Structures are given as C-alpha cells and as structure tokens.
C-alpha cells in the first residue's frame, strides 16, 4: 500500500485514539491527582521537535552522503541542518506555532468536559473555519456545493450540541470504560460542563483553521524541507508552551521536589499515552500534507468520527440517541460533499451520472 494511504488510515485511527485516550486520561482521576495539561503540551512539542530534527538531519546527511565521509561528513550535515532551521524566514512559523499551542491546550479543556463522540463531531466545525480563512487569506473561491455542505455541517453540529447541552453537568462516570474499576467509583471524580467544553472546542476550531491555512501559506511560498519547517514550528511553540509551566512552578506544593518532577507530577501511563498519540498525530499530519492532500485528509477525519463513536459505545457505554445519529450523519454527509472534487459536485448532490 502506498505511503499516502498508510498515512491517511493511520491519521484516522490516531484521531479516534487521541480523543479516547485523552478523554480517559482526564476523567479517570480525581482533580487533585490530575496531570498538568501544560506539561503535556510542552512534552508534546519537545518530543515532536526532537523527532523532526532527527529526520531533517538524516535527510540532509543522506543527500550529502555523510556516512561515506566519516565524522566530518556528519558534522557538516549538522551545521547545514542548523543553518536551514535558523534561516532568516524562520520567524514566519511563530504565528502557527502560537496558535497550535493554544489549540492543543484548548483540546484538553474540551475533551475533559464533553463525551468523546460529541467532541469529535463538534470538532468537525474546523472544516468551516478552515474554509473561511482560506477564502480570506488565500483568496480561494468556493463553489456553491461547498458553501451548501458548510451550511449542512453547521446544522449537523447544532443538532449534536442541542442534545448534549440539554444534559448539563454530566457526571464523568458515564464515560468510564464499561466494567472498569472506576465505573463503581463515587460521582465526585470529575464533573463535565458541556458549555465550557463547547466554548473550548469552538475556539480550537478557529485556531485550527487559522494555523492550518497559515502553515499552508508558509509551506507553499518557500522551498524549505517539511521536517525543517516542523522543527521551526516546535521551536517557536516552546516559548508559549513553557510559560504556563513556569507559572505553575510557583506553586510550592508541586515543585519543591524540583522542576522536572514538578512537570511530571501525576504523569501515569494514560498521560504518557496521550502525549505519544499527540506526537504521532503531529508527525502524521506533516506526512499527510506532504504525500496526500486536504481532500483525503478530510475523509480520514470523518472516518475517525465513526471509529471513536463505535469505540465510545463499546468502551464508555455511550448512549446512542436519535439526535446524535441524525447530527453525526449530517456532519458525515456534509464532509463527504465538501470533499467532492470539482466536476463531481453535481453528482454528489443529485446522484446523477454526468453526460
């Protein structure tokens, strides 16, 4: 199977896995034993940046046949990759970097306050914001079918929101894995606030759209290697990611044992799994941008809705309501319609065969 399809299927599975693992990592412990989302965002950027740096370095070394030239070959490659990373235009990545850090932090608020499946469906609104920013910043023109599908998307998300908001302050026990030890735990573990969750997910959709379009603009207007751009993105992300960690470090309850153990406080298996799946997602997103296109990326995301929905039913005892099914189906159909290539759009709406 070509790398293009492998990366798309992996992105769909990663998307579904992230919302499930992140949600469980947040709701399965009492607030006093929760890990810090700020630490998770920082670790994500550190790991993603390091992996991207190794890939960028190996690519440069391979291109200049460093292994055949011994230590000096490797040293020359290291200097070259560093020159590329600290190129005069690297500052352009500071804007998407800041936006992605905000987005990754908002994701934690959203997923802690919404059921997994509801989060996934509502997060599809990022297609709407991406379209709006593409029209505004990239001067892209959208066909009437695309506008219509965006309208359906908003309706679908609205239907899912109405059903979820009506059950305000859902106890998170409803979202514990079926048969888990936590299922019988007292209700005070974690109280979800759908309004807060929807606010966070809406804001995350805006940062996702703006950051994605901005990253696309930077990539298409230069010849720099994708992995070098990824390192630049992570480097600039470190500044906004480290600030909340320093802010938290003023709390002597956590940081008296030292900075590293303060950052890693309450970091159990689920927290590490969340960071690992996030890192994987960032890397696959980069590969999908390079080897595939946004049309197929949209399909991967909508496939992940179905996957996380099925997993929510099996793992968290998520209750299927008619409005959830109608809302999710509308979102899926709208996503599919939006992703129809030009010329196929009429077929998408009418089902007619073009003559």
The piece of 112-120, 136-144, 280-288, 318-326 that touches ligand C5P (CB under 6 A) is 280-288
Residue 212 near ligand C5P by CB under 6 A: yes
> Smallest distance from the beta carbon of 237 to ligand C5P, in angstroms?
7
Residue 274 near ligand C5P by CB under 6 A: no
> Smallest distance from the beta carbon of 41 to ligand C5P, in angstroms?
9
User: Any idea what DSSP says for residue 250?
Assistant: T
Residue 108 near ligand C5P by CB under 6 A: no
Residue 282 near ligand C5P by CB under 6 A: yes
Residue 285 near ligand C5P by CB under 6 A: yes
Round to whole Å and give the CA distance between 15 and 293: 17
Enumerate residues 74-103 that contact ligand C5P by CB under 6 A.
Answer: 100
Per rule CB under 6 A, count of chain residues that contact ligand C5P: 13
Residue 281 near ligand C5P by CB under 6 A: yes
Other Cβ atoms closer than 10 A to 318: 21
Q: Work out which of 7, 39, 118, 208 binds ligand C5P, going by CB under 6 A.
A: 208
Nearest to residue 175, comparing CAs of 197, 142, 153?
A: 197
Nearer to ligand C5P, 197 or 212 (CB): 212
Nearest to residue 125, comparing CAs of 203, 188, 10?
A: 203
> Smallest distance from the beta carbon of 39 to ligand C5P, in angstroms?
16
Nearer to ligand C5P, 197 or 262 (CB): 197
The whole-angstrom distance between residue 335's C-alpha and the CA centroid of its chain comes to 17
Q: Please give the angle made by the CA atoms of 294, 277 and 307, to the nearest 5 degrees.
A: 65
3-state secondary structure of 86: coil
Residue 327 near ligand C5P by CB under 6 A: no
The piece of 137-145, 184-192, 207-215, 241-249 that touches ligand C5P (CB under 6 A) is 207-215
> Smallest distance from the beta carbon of 65 to ligand C5P, in angstroms?
28
Enumerate residues 218-257 that contact ligand C5P by CB under 6 A.
Answer: 230, 233
> Smallest distance from the beta carbon of 68 to ligand C5P, in angstroms?
31
> Where is 73: in which H helix or E strand?
helix 70-85
Enumerate residues 289-318 that contact ligand C5P by CB under 6 A.
Answer: none
> Smallest distance from the beta carbon of 117 to ligand C5P, in angstroms?
17
> Smallest distance from the beta carbon of 96 to ligand C5P, in angstroms?
7
Q: First vs last Cα of the chain: how many Å apart? A: 33
Round to whole Å and give the CA distance between 158 and 152: 10
DSSP 313-344: HHHH-PPP-HHHHHHHHHHHHHHHHHTPPTTS
Round to whole Å and give the CA distance between 199 and 115: 14
Enumerate residues 121-150 that contact ligand C5P by CB under 6 A.
Answer: 126
> Where is 260: in which H helix or E strand?
helix 259-263
3-state secondary structure of 191: strand
Contact indicator for 201, 110 with CB cutoff of 8 Å: yes
The burial of 14, by beta-carbon neighbours within 10 Å (0-12 exposed, 13-18 middle, 19 or more buried), is given as: buried
Q: Work out which of 104, 105, 120, 339 binds ligand C5P, going by CB under 6 A.
A: 104
Residue 106 near ligand C5P by CB under 6 A: no
> Smallest distance from the beta carbon of 105 to ligand C5P, in angstroms?
10
Nearer to ligand C5P, 149 or 230 (CB): 230
Nearest to residue 121, comparing CAs of 315, 313, 325, 273?
A: 325
Residue 36 near ligand C5P by CB under 6 A: no
Give residues in contact with ligand C5P (CB under 6 A).
48, 100, 104, 126, 208, 212, 215, 230, 233, 281-282, 285-286
């Amino acid at each position: 199977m070509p790398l293009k399809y492998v990366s798309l299927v992996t992105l769909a599975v990663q998307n579904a896995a992230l919302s499930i693992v992140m949600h469980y990592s947040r709701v399965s412990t009492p607030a006093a034993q929760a890990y810090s989302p700020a630490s998770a965002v920082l670790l994500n950027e550190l790991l993603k940046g390091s992996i991207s740096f190794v890939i960028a370095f190996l690519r440069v070394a391979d291109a200049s046949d460093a292994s055949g030239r011994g230590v000096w070959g490797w040293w020359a490659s290291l200097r070259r990759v560093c020159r590329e990373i600290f190129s005069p235009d690297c500052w352009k990545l500071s804007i998407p970097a800041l936006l992605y850090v905000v987005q990754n932090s908002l994701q934690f608020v959203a997923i802690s306050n919404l059921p997994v499946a509801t989060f996934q469906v509502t997060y599809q609104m990022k297609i709407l914001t991406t379209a709006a920013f593409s029209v505004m910043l990239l001067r892209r023109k959208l066909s009437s079918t695309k506008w219509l599908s965006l309208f359906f998307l908003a309706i679908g998300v609205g239907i899912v929101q109405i059903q979820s908001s009506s059950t305000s302050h859902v106890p998170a026990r409803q979202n514990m894995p079926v048969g888990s030890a936590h299922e019988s735990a007292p209700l005070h573990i974690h109280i979800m606030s759908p309004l807060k969750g929807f606010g966070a997910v809406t804001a995350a959709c805006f940062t996702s759209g703006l950051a994605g379009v901005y990253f696309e603009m930077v990539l298409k207007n230069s010849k720099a290697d994708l992995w070098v751009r990824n390192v630049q993105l992570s480097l600039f992300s470190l500044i906004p990611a480290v600030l909340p960690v320093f802010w938290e470090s003023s709390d002597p309850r956590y940081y008296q044992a030292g900075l590293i153990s303060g950052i890693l406080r309450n970091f159990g298996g689920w927290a590490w799994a969340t960071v690992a799946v996030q890192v994987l997602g960032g890397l696959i997103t980069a590969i999908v941008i390079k080897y595939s296109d946004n049309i197929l990326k949209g399909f991967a995301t909508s496939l992940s809705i179905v996957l996380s929905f099925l997993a929510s039913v099996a793992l968290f005892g998520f209750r299927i309501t008619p409005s959830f099914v109608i809302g999710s189906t509308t979102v899926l159909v709208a996503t599919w319609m939006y992703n129809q290539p030009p010329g196929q759009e009429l077929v998408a709406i009418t089902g007619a065969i073009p003559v």
